[in-house]
Structure formats: structure tokens, C-alpha cells
Structure 1
Amino acid sequence: MSELNQEQIIVKMGQGGLIPVFNHTDYDIARQVLDACYQGGIRVFEFTNRGDNALEVFGKLVAHAEQYPDLLLGIGTIFSAEDAQKFHQVGAQFIVSPAMIPDLAEFCKGQNILWIPGCGTVSEIYQATQLGAKVIKAFPGNVLGPGFVKSVKAVFPNVPIMPTGGVAPTKENLKTWFDAGVTCVGMGSKLITKSILQERDFDGLRHLVANALATIEEVKPN
């Protein structure tokens, strides 16, 4: 896997523009999802800390991803410094949280790890940047919407924003988000759908990912 500093990770997130957000308790399925996403062009991937065996599955994914020298693997749904430390020790290269948590900010700053907190107000974004956040997760994106991002960018023009939730791999949806000023988008079940997982249609996932990345390249403002 790729070893980059915080600024380089942010650049890489913006280059692709799409970060799959995924969790599965079955390592074999998780591995095939990761492979399909990589083959489709993904270079930054967020696994989420859901389920009792998330740490075990993530550790195996990190080992598996050693064959992909340009891939970045991060962990999401982190609420405590203790969990952040556990996942960082097994190879998480960035930490994503659904909330703005000062203890987590302090840990990540001390370890020089990219921390991406979930924020839903201008006050939270301000506090997060004061605590060292270099990227903000607009969450829940389906509630906040592109209008929130556009308004936030007016007062924080240099803060990269990544919405998660409410992002779909359609040209119309992606254009609305990127026109609003996002740096990249996180996409979960709208990308890695239940039917793909049930049918184990990993080739279909690869095509969907490749098409979404091509669409993002098309709709990104120059």
C-alpha cells in the first residue's frame, strides 16, 4: 500500500474524487469488493468499523492490499482514540468519524494521522479545523445536501469537503455535488449495492466503479 503524508493523501482523494465506504463481516466478500474497486480505478478506500470482527477483517484487507502499492486504506465509523489506535496499528492510513470528537482529534494529531470528522454545522467545521482537521466529512450528506456544501465553501473556501450519504453514481447527482464544491465523495450502498453482494457480481461492481470515476472526471469543474 501507498505510504503518503496527510497532504499527499488529500491530493490523492481529490484526484479520484470517489471513496467507496464499505463494511462486511465476511473477509472473502470484503476482499473481492476491494479487488473489484481497485480494478475499476479506486485508489482510496474506506472500510468501516461495524461488526464485532471489523478489526480482524480490516487487518486481513491491509495484508491483502500489499499487492497494490498505490492504494490507500482508511477506517471509518471511529468514535474513540482507543479504536483509532487499534486500527492504526494494523495499518489504517486515515481515520474517519461520523462526529467531531476532540479526543479523537488529539490522538490523530499526536500520531500525525489524517483525521476526517463528520460535521453538520458551520460551528462544527470551525471547531474541527481548530483541532487540526484538514478534510471535513459532510454527514449525513442526504440530509445536508449540496446546498450546505456550497454555503460552507463560501466561508471555508480552502477546506476540502467530502459528503457521505446521499451520493449516487449518476451524472446528475455527482454533478450537483461537484458543482457545489466538494473535493471528493464517499459512496456506500448506492455503489456497492445489496444485489451486487447477493449475486457476488464483482465484475459488475468493477464496471460501476469505472463508470462513476469517468463521470466524476467529466463533471468536475476545471
Structure 2
Amino acid sequence: MTVKKGTIIAILRGIQPEDASSIVEVLLNNGISWVEVSLSDEENGLRCIQNIHSAFQDSVQLGAGTVVHPYQVNKVLEAGGQYIITPGWDRELVRYIKTKQVATFPGVFSPGEIAQAIQEGINVVKLFPANELGLSYVRSLQGPFPNVHIMGVGGVDLHNLKDYYEAGCSSFAIGSDLVPRGATKMDLNAIEQKAKQYVELIQRLGS
């Protein structure tokens, strides 16, 4: 599974399963095909993945975030998830995920964790929390890790995405600024507008 430069991943957190497919339909119709469902509420998150997978199959790049246990990996794959995102670096969990032959984008915070990820054959890492680490930190990583694809997560929004992109983040997972935490069908219009803005911004940056 390849994360292309400029990919936007929409993070769904606190969403009720009956609303998940409607939200993803709006995202797909407006150019965002990558979706990460948080397992911070594990039962609801897994049901959301099931519903989204049932509705859209391979039309959506569907994964799970906030995965911290091996058993959750199994449940995500059974529900139809295609990739795993972890909140932080866990070498043993990464190794377990790789035995399932599924893509993983592990959370990292430090150069040491990025180096460990490289040793495990990982070339896409989730830098979290990007907003706390800052632009100069992202720029500094380009020297020792020029071939690592950095996914910026945490505090990235329409106002600062351009700065993080130019600093070296290749892709982004966007949470509440794109899909509000606990969003429902009542939020579809707002999600549509934000999706259009993110896609237009990325297209301008890539042109």
C-alpha cells in the first residue's frame, strides 16, 4: 500500500456506526479516499470499519488508528481494515503487524524512533504530535532521514498545512478540523466544505 505525496487521511473519531458510511461517502465524493477510524472507542470503531467496508469495499483506503494491542490488529483485519496506524512507537507491535502482511504507519516522536522504524523496514512514519514538535523539527529530520515519508499528525489544519508540507511532511492525517469528533449526518455539509478546501490546497501545493 503506497501513501503518495500529498495524501490526506481523514480521521474518524467518536463516530457512531450508523453515521460512518454517510460521512465517508461525502469524503469520497470530494476527493478524499483515505480514512482512518480511531479505536479509542474500540467497539464503535470496529463497527464503523465494518460498515464502511461493506458499503465501499475497495473504493476507500480504510484503516484503523489508536491501535495499541495485537488482538486489535486481528479485529481490524476481520472488519475489513487495510492498514494500521499506531499512536506511538512499539517495535513488538510493528513486528506483529508485519506478520499479517498489512501496511503499518507507526507513530514516532524522536530520531531514535525513526531509526528503529527504518530498521524494521518501515518507510512511512506518523510524526505525532506534529504541532508540538514544530516546523524546525520537521526540517531538521530531512538531513538524516531524506528517504523517510513523514506523515504529519496532530494540530495540522488548513492554516498551517502548507508550512508543514514545505518543511518536509509528505502526507497528513487530519482529525477534527476535517471531520469533527463525534460527527453525525448533521455535519455532512461542513465536512464537504472542509474536504473541498483540503483537496484544493493539496492540489495547489503539488502543482
TM over 0.5: yes
The answer for the alignment partner of 1:10 in structure 2 is: 3
With over 3 angstroms needed to count, the CA separation of the structure-2 counterparts of 1:128 and 1:78, relative to structure 1, is same
The answer for the alignment partner of 1:185 in structure 2 is: 172
Instruction: State the percentage of identical aligned residues.
Output: 26
Gaps of 5+ in 2: none
With over 3 angstroms needed to count, the CA separation of the structure-2 counterparts of 1:199 and 1:85, relative to structure 1, is closer
- Structure with the higher fraction of residues in helix conformation: 1
Task: Kindly state the Cα deviation for residue 198 of structure 1 after the two structures are TM-superposed.
Answer: 6.4
The answer for the alignment partner of 2:49 in structure 1 is: 58
Residues 90-125 of structure 1: per-residue CA shift (max 9 Å, x gap): 211110001111221112222221111111100010
Local SS of the residue matching 1:137: strand
Matched, 1:201 2:187: yes
With over 3 angstroms needed to count, the CA separation of the structure-2 counterparts of 1:57 and 1:193, relative to structure 1, is closer
Local SS of the residue matching 2:143: helix
Amino acid paired to 2:34: V
The answer for the alignment partner of 1:133 in structure 2 is: 122
Q: Which has the higher contact order (CA 8 A, sep 6+)?
A: 2
CA contact (8 A) 1:105 1:133 kept: no
With over 3 angstroms needed to count, the CA separation of the structure-2 counterparts of 1:115 and 1:199, relative to structure 1, is closer
Q: How does 1:75-114 map to 2 (within 5 A)?
A: 75-114=64-103
Gaps of 5+ in 1: 1-5
CA contact (8 A) 2:47 2:79 kept: no
Dislocated runs of 4+, deviation >4 Å: none
With over 3 angstroms needed to count, the CA separation of the structure-2 counterparts of 1:56 and 1:104, relative to structure 1, is same
Matched, 1:121 2:114: no
Task: Kindly state the Cα deviation for residue 199 of structure 1 after the two structures are TM-superposed.
Answer: 7.6
Tell me the C-alpha RMSD between the 2 structures.
1.9
Alignment coverage as a number of residue pairs: 206
CA contact (8 A) 1:47 1:75 kept: yes
Distance 1:85 1:70 in 2: 22
Distance 1:154 1:80 in 2: 33
Distance 2:174 2:101 in 1: 26
Distance 1:156 1:91 in 2: 32
Local SS of the residue matching 2:169: coil
Matched, 1:31 2:56: no
The alignment's TM-score, normalised by the length of structure 2, stands at: 0.91
